[in-house]
Structure 1
Amino acid sequence: MRTTFDFSPLYRSMIGVDRMATLIEAAMRSEGDGNYPPCDIEKLGDDAYRISLAVAGFKPADIEVTAQPNLLVVSGQKGQGEENRLYLHHGIASRSFERRFELADYVVVKSADYADGVLAIDLVREVPEALKARRIEIANGGSGSSQLERLEDHPSDRQAA
C-alpha cells in the first residue's frame, strides 16, 4: 500500500519549504532499482561525511561522479569487451547504474577515491563566513545614543569608522 502526503498546507503558512517538500516527496518515491549499488553513508565529523559505494567489477574509468548544486550523481557504465565472456555463474552485478544523493546547502564534494571495489566520496559542509553565527558585542555607551546616531552627527567620523 502506497501512502501519499499533501504538502499544500505548508505552502500557505510557511515560506521557503517548497524545496523541503520536494525532497521528501522524492525520497518517498520508489525509483526502480534505487538500492544498486549498495552504499554506506558515514558522518566523520561535525561537517564531514563519506559515501562509500560497492562497485565491484567496475573500473575507475567506468564510473562518473558529477557534483551539481545540492545534488551528487554517481553513474557507472560497464566497459566494452565483457559481452564475449561465457559465465557458468554470474553473481557479480555489473549492470549500469545511477545513484543520486541530495545534498544540503553548502555541502561540497572534496574528493573521490576508488580502492578494492569501493568508491569513497568525501563531502564537507563549507558554510560561508558571512552566514556563520557570530557574537555581537554590546556597547556600554551610557548616553543611550547608538553608534549610528553618533556617526550621523559627525560626518568626518564616518570615514574613519
Structure 2
Amino acid sequence: MTKISLGAHPYLLGFEELERLMERTAKSAGDGYPPYNIEQTSQHSYRITLAVAGFSEDDLSITLEEKSLVVRGRQRDEPEERVFLHRGIAARQFQRSFVLADGVEIEGAAIENGLLHIDLARKPPQSVVQTIRIQRGDRKKESEA
C-alpha cells in the first residue's frame, strides 16, 4: 500500500509544513504523564486541563515556543530525612507539548484542586478576497525586451 503524502497531493499546495508538524507531534506524544483533557468551551475557545497534583505554581512553567504550547513541571527535591514506607504518588518532572494552529492564543492559566487549566481562544478568520489581474502574454514579452 502506498503512503499518500499531503505535500505531494496536487490540490494541497504549501502544506508540507503540516505534514512535518504531524510527524513531530506523533513523536513527542510522550509517556502519557501527566494525564490531560482538552475541551471545547465555546465555538472559538478551548481549555486544556492537566492533572498536576503535588505541583505548585512555582513548580510549573508554561511557555509558547514557536507554534507549540509547552508545559513543564519539576518539583523541588524533598528533604532526605523523610522515610517512605510506600511511595505511590509520582514526583517526577514532565514536559507536555501542544501544537497550536495559527490564530490560537493563550488567554490565561490557573491551578485549582491539583488541576492546571490553560484557556485558549481562536480568533475567527477574516474573509479575504483578492482579485488577480490577468495580463496578456504579448505585453509581458514587450516589457522584457
Q: Does TM-score exceed 0.5, indicating one fold?
A: yes
Kindly tell me: are residues 11 and 21 of structure 1, through their superposed partners in 2, closer, same or farther at Cα, counting changes over 3 Å?
same
Residue 64 of structure 1 corresponds to: 61
Q: Contact 2:38–2:47 at 8 Å: present in 1 too?
A: yes
Residue 88 of structure 1 corresponds to: 85
TM-score, with structure 2 as normaliser:
0.76
Identity of aligned residues (%): 38
Q: Contact 2:62–2:70 at 8 Å: present in 1 too?
A: yes
Deviation (angstroms), 1:70: 1.8
In structure 2, give the amino acid aligned to 1:28. A
User: 2:102 aligned to 68, 89, 105, which one?
Assistant: 105
User: 1:20 aligned to 11, 18, 21, which one?
Assistant: 18
Deviation (angstroms), 1:26: 2.2
TM-score, with structure 1 as normaliser:
0.69
Secondary structure of the structure 2 residue equivalent to 1:56:
coil
- Indicate yes or no: 2:100 matched with 1:132: no
Residue 117 of structure 2 corresponds to: 120
Aligned-pair RMSD on alpha carbons? 2.5
Distance in 1 of aligned mates of 2:123 and 2:30: 33
Deviation (angstroms), 1:83: 4.6
Would you tell me which structure has more helix in proportion to its own residues? 1
Give the greater-gyration-radius structure (CA).
1
Unaligned stretches of 5+ in structure 1?
136-161
In structure 2, give the amino acid aligned to 1:27. T
Would you tell me which structure has more strand in proportion to its own residues? 2
Deviation (angstroms), 1:10: 2.7
Q: Contact 1:70–1:107 at 8 Å: present in 2 too?
A: no
User: 1:38 aligned to 35, 39, 46, which one?
Assistant: 35
Q: Is 70-79 or 82-91 further displaced after alignment? A: 82-91
Q: Matched residue pairs, number?
A: 127
